[in-house]
Amino acid sequence: MLIHAITADVTYEFASEVRAGLTREGQKELPSKYLYDDVGSALFEVISHLPEYGLTRADARLLRRYADEIVDRVAGPVAVAELGSGSGKKTRWLLQALCRRQRTSYYPVEISRSALAMCERELRDIDAISILGFEREYLDGLLEVAARRKEGQHLFVLFLGSTIGNFDRPAGVKFLSEIRRTLEPGDSLLLGTDLLKPVEQLLRAYDDDLGVTAAFNLNLLARINRELDADFELSEFAHQARINREARRVEMHLVSKRRQSVRVPAANIVVEFLEGESVWTESSHKYTAEEIFETARRAGFRCQAQWIDEEWPFAENLLVAE
Ligand code: AVI
């Protein structure tokens, strides 16, 4: 597979976002996209196999079971763009269903080069597929894919795995509106959303017994040590999953076990932590099946169909650009 990579100064951007997040007034924060370096992506892959975390398996079950039905509802001919392809495993079912209908160009968009390479290895054996990966932020990658659209071709965008849940609700609508802006009427977006479930189940899913999610979260500090030369003592921070009922989300935090200061030379800061103070690293918003219709409408789509997994409440939503 060809991978289009950018050589922008990613370390500089990482350092400035770390500086902004750790020096802000009130709650310290780090953007969740930085959880996914090579180590973080590998840990997330393990999370997706954990008994406590059913999200990825529910997503895959729906795609395997309903691939033909989903593809039948998508106006063709299409080129497929996937935002955040990960390993590409669960996309196989959709691509195989599409490739039975037409020769298909598949454009995975990923910020992790190793995930792109994994995705290519996973999917290259499918008949009648051509794969071109973009190592880009989602919207930048999608713009490049849209520029390759051929006359009369529709785009079918995949945003699976409930990554939309990592945006807060207003930012989620804004992001979907930005996707909509790159599309033409009649193009489709398959949106995976994790649905609300009992608090105990959610807490277990984001704080598993083996401690894989804890390692996934703590790796963000390890990454800052590796890439920005910081001196975080990982054993002095604890992973914590919190439920925010009002916002209908699970939050991941890293809680300082004592009063301490941490140097981050490449970001030119020394950060002071109080005992019990946390860095908020990720939010996972949970949806109701009904609210997706309104969310889609506000972003300029119509939710044409929805498939729901009963075992682990999760919905695939087929949105059509109006
Ligand atoms: C990628 N994203 C949808 C996952 C989630 O559930 O929010 C990331 C994750 N964080 C902790 N466990 C999994």
The dihedral through the CA atoms of 15, 16, 17, 22 has a sign that is positive
- Angle between helix axes 212-228 and 10-23 (nearest 10 degrees) is 110
Which DSSP state fits 32?
Answer: G
Residue nearest to atom 2 of ligand 1 (CA): 163
Q: For the chain, 322 residues long, give each residue's pLDDT as a single digit of tens.
A: 556 654 447 789 999 999 999 999 999 999 999 999 989 989 999 999 999 999 999 999 999 999 999 999 998 899 999 999 888 889 999 999 999 999 999 999 998 788 889 899 999 999 999 999 999 999 999 999 999 999 999 999 999 999 999 999 999 999 999 999 999 999 999 999 999 999 999 999 999 999 999 999 999 999 999 999 999 999 999 999 999 999 999 999 999 999 999 999 999 999 999 999 999 999 999 999 999 999 999 999 999 999 999 999 999 999 999 9
d(CA 153, CA 188): 12
Q: Are 297 and 171 in contact (CB under 8 A)?
A: no
The CA-atom distances, in angstroms, between 135 and each of 10, 25, 82, 165, 246 are 12, 33, 12, 22, 36
Nearest to 314 by CA among 189, 166, 179, 191: 191
CA dist 267 and 100 (Å) reads: 51
Q: Which atom of ligand 1 is least distant from the CA of 205?
A: 12
Nearest CA to ligand 1 atom 7: 284
Residues 6+ away with beta carbon under 8 Å from 206? 53, 213, 241, 250, 252, 284
DSSP string, 197-238: --HHHHHHHTS-TT-HHHHHHHHHHHHHHHHH-----GGGEE
Label the pairing between strands 314-321 and 301-309.
antiparallel
Quote the tokens at residue 286.
């949970």
**Residues in CB range of 246: below 8 A, 6 or more apart:** none
**Residue owning the nearest CA to atom 6 of ligand 1:** 284
pLDDT at residue 4, rounded to an integer = 63
What does the pLDDT read at residue 224? Answer: 98
Task: Look up residue 83 and give its two tokens.
Answer: 């935002």
| Cα 258 to averaged position of ligand 1 atoms, centre (Å) | 27
Its pTM stands at: 0.95
Say which amino acid occupies 221.
L
Which of 284, 286, 287, 312 for mutating ligand 1's site (highest number of atoms within 8 Å of CB)? 284
What φ, ψ does residue 87 adopt, rounded to 5°?
-75, -15
Q: Assess whether the previous peptide bond of 31 is cis (omega < 30° from 0).
A: no
CB under 8 Å to 12, separation ≥6 — which residues?
Answer: none
Residues facing 132 on adjacent strands: 2
For residue 322, the one-letter residue type is: E
Q: What is the 3-state secondary structure (H, E, C) of 114-143?
A: HHHHHHHHHHCCCCCEEEEEEECCHHHHHH
Comparing CA positions, the residue from 312, 259, 249, 314 lying closest to residue 282 is 249
Structure tokens, 256: 């300082």
> Residues with beta carbon inside 6 Å of ligand 1?
47, 55, 161-163, 165-166, 206, 213, 282, 284
**Nearest residue to 28 via CA among 226, 163, 224:** 224
Strand partners, 262: 271
Report the C-alpha gap between 145 and 142 in whole angstroms: 5
